[in-house]
């Protein structure tokens, strides 16, 4: 990796930039010779050597060795990612998000601030030699997970799915659906879910047609 000093310290820059982008490249770190350099803040701990060019990782992140991040993805501050995790091209992982593998995230996904993708349905401090037992969590292309939402392990969120802020997702979500609430449930077309006047969270306590 190249090391370039600037006003923040030293940014570690994999790859070099050239003008032509070959059609057979998938935006992974293997194509870094064809990409503009990544920018990794010196105050972040990045153990992976699979960071593609044009990725931006801001300060105070922790990214484990078994994590691959592809072209153009932006990682906010205080993000934790521990693999095995694959993050596709042009994703946005906002500040404070936590992603625990096994997890595959497709291109152009959005993970909101403080959202968590978990890897254990039944956490227990007494566990020894823990291994994931719920399969790989999959977010297909263009999935959006709102602020402080939680996605339980082993689920598939299909293309274009949306998870509302604060939701707890316990089941897979079909393409284009929006799920909200605790536990999360499908939001029907033409309906919206709001809080009660007194601040409660009863299911669809106030439902009004879309305007």
Prediction pTM value: 0.79
Nearest 5°: phi and psi at 31?
-105, 15
Helix (H) or strand (E) segment spanning residue 78 = none
Query: In this structure, what token pair is assigned to residue 158?
Result: 């299909």
pLDDT in tens, 68-126: 999 999 999 999 999 899 999 999 999 999 999 999 999 999 999 999 999 988 777 77
Strands 178-180 and 162-163: parallel
From CA 60, how far away is CA 96, in angstroms rounded? 10
Q: 85, 101 in Cβ contact below 8 A?
A: yes
pLDDT in tens, 175-198: 999 999 999 999 877 666 554 333
């Amino acid at each position: 990796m190249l090391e370039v000093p600037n006003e923040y310290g030293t940014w570690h820059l994999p790859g070099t930039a050239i003008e032509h982008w070959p059609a057979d490249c998938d935006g992974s770190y293997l194509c870094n010779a064809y990409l503009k350099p990544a920018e990794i803040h010196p105050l972040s701990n990045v153990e992976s050597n699979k960071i593609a060019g044009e990725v931006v990782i801001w300060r105070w992140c922790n990214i484990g060795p078994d994590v691959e991040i592809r072209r153009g993805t932006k990682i906010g501050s205080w993000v934790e990612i521990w693999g095995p995790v694959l993050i596709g091209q042009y994703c946005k992982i906002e500040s404070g998000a936590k992603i625990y593998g096994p997890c595959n995230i497709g291109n152009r996904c959005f993970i909101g601030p403080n959202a968590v993708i978990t890897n254990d349905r039944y956490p227990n401090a007494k566990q020894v030699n823990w291994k994931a037992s719920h399969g790989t969590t999959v977010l297909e292309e263009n999935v959006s997970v709102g602020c402080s939402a939680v996605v339980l392990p082993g689920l598939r969120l299909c293309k274009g799915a949306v998870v509302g802020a604060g939701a707890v997702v316990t089941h897979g979500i079909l393409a284009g659906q929006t799920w909200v609430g605790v536990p999360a449930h499908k939001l029907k077309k033409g309906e919206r879910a709001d809080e009660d006047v007194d601040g409660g969270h009863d299911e669809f306590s106030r439902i009004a047609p879309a305007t």
